[in-house]
Amino acid sequence: MASKLLASTLRRTLTKATASSTTTRHLSTTAAAVTAAPAFDSFEDDQNGITMKGVKIAGRPLYLDMQATTPVDPRVLDAMLPFLLSRYGNAHSRTHLFGWESDLAVETARSQISELIGASPKEIIFTSGATESNNISIKGVMHFYKDKKRHVITTQTEHKCVLDSCRHLQQEGFEITYLPVRSDGIVDLDELRAAIRPDTGLISVMAVNNEIGVIQPMEEIGEICKEFKIPFHTDAAQALGKIPVDVEKWNVSLMSLSGHKIYGPKGIGALYMRRRPRIRVEPLINGGGQERGIRSGTLATPLIVGFGSACEIAKKEMDYDHKRVMALKDRLLNGIREKIDGVVVNGSMERRYAGNLNLSFAYVEGESLLMGLKEVAVSSGSACTSASLEPSYVLRALGVDEDMAHTSIRFGVGRFTTEAEVDRAIELTVNQVVKLREMSPLYEMVKEGIDIKQIQWSQH
């Protein structure tokens, strides 16, 4: 009862604070729920708009970067609040009620997560996120079996934490095969089969790509791994709650999961570890032996409860969310293509998650396009590498021309995206592309019928 009163009071206080301090009209419905942030030296919010890092915009931008992170579902926050305010016990305290109720909440969340992927609750290990889960999977497996297994197979389009974990193993003397992908982003199964060696200890393939949204043929890859009796790891952070995930159908031994990609809190993730046949890993963190000794450290009960709640909601609403996100994606793509030409979708159109739309705009400079879209929160690729001006390594792996790779924009729509936001994003994107093309001599030449690829450019 006390937690409900505290939560109610907290919500009323935040609502009043938001109502009294907000003077600009929020562009985004998801952003409209955000309370006024504390003032920092680098952030100014006044009647004339918002100024940050030298950029001034009329109000909070539309949020279309759902692959980077998602807003917390209010229902998830409601589930978390009691464990932030009154049920604050350590889940490992076995001698009193506070510990017991936290332990019960953790085990409930473990069940909610396992139900979403068709696993046993005993196969779920809590971590700080998918990056840690990927590190445990790749380094942990190979270190455990290092006497017999010295080879790993992965793809060139994996998340950076998978690629960097593999490079770390290379420095330790392991051998890594980085498989290329086809122009649609899908791995060639024949090449995968040909790369397998007697000492191959792990195959790691991402289920849904974070930059281009393509869905790999997981069941077919799982069958190959089963045939050769090789552990199969997948980074399913972008797949969880968005497409059906079944660890038995996919035949995965290890699966990395993240909370903040499915409208849960940041800082929490999980690692699925198969029990039959059992997969073993060497722990990266030593300590109190929590999580079956795989990941020592006090469990973050509020975050775990939020993650479990997000999984439960995703399981119930996945079909509805998919239909709605598909309609919004079609609206966005068709709306842009109706008004401008030279728009290319990167990655397979048949095998992709609808909420991820990665587009390249011909004859436009990518950084200029991003700078001009300050009223829309989008990115040019992975959030982990967005500070780099280099073209995306994922698009380069697809064979995309460097100039087109430089002009790519990733639009991410999700559960709380509205049609009005999509329409506004179409308007702003089209206007900016048209504006930049008017300044482009290359676009003028193309309109005059000149094939610019046949031009021999001379250096001065």
- What amino acid positions are annotated as catalytic residues? 384
- The DSSP result for 207-260, as a single string, is SB-TTT-BBP-HHHHHHHHHHHT--EEEE-TTTTTTS---HHHHT-SEEEEEST
Q: What is the phi/psi pair of residue 16, to 5°?
A: -65, -45
Q: Where on the phi/psi map is residue 364: left (φ > 0), alpha (ψ -120 to 50), or beta? A: beta
Q: Where on the phi/psi map is residue 258: left (φ > 0), alpha (ψ -120 to 50), or beta? A: beta
CA distances, 45 to each of 19, 33, 60, 360 (Å): 15, 16, 10, 33
Q: What is the phi/psi pair of residue 252, to 5°?
A: -85, 145
Exposed, middle or buried, 339 (CB in 10 Å: 0-12/13-18/19+)?
middle
End-to-end CA distance of the chain: 77
Q: How far apart are CA 157 and CA 169, in angstroms?
A: 18
Place of tokens 């728009």: 343
Token readout for 363 is 């004859």
Q: How far apart are CA 295 and CA 175, in angstroms?
A: 26
Q: What angle, 0 to 180 degrees and rounded to 10, lies between the N-to-C axes of helices 301-337 and 97-117?
A: 30
Residues in Cβ contact with 237 at an 8 Å cutoff, skipping those fewer than 6 apart: 130, 159, 210, 256, 257, 258, 261, 269
Exposed, middle or buried, 109 (CB in 10 Å: 0-12/13-18/19+)?
buried
Q: How far apart are CA 98 and CA 215, in angstroms?
A: 43
What distance separates the 2 farthest-apart alpha carbons in the chain?
80
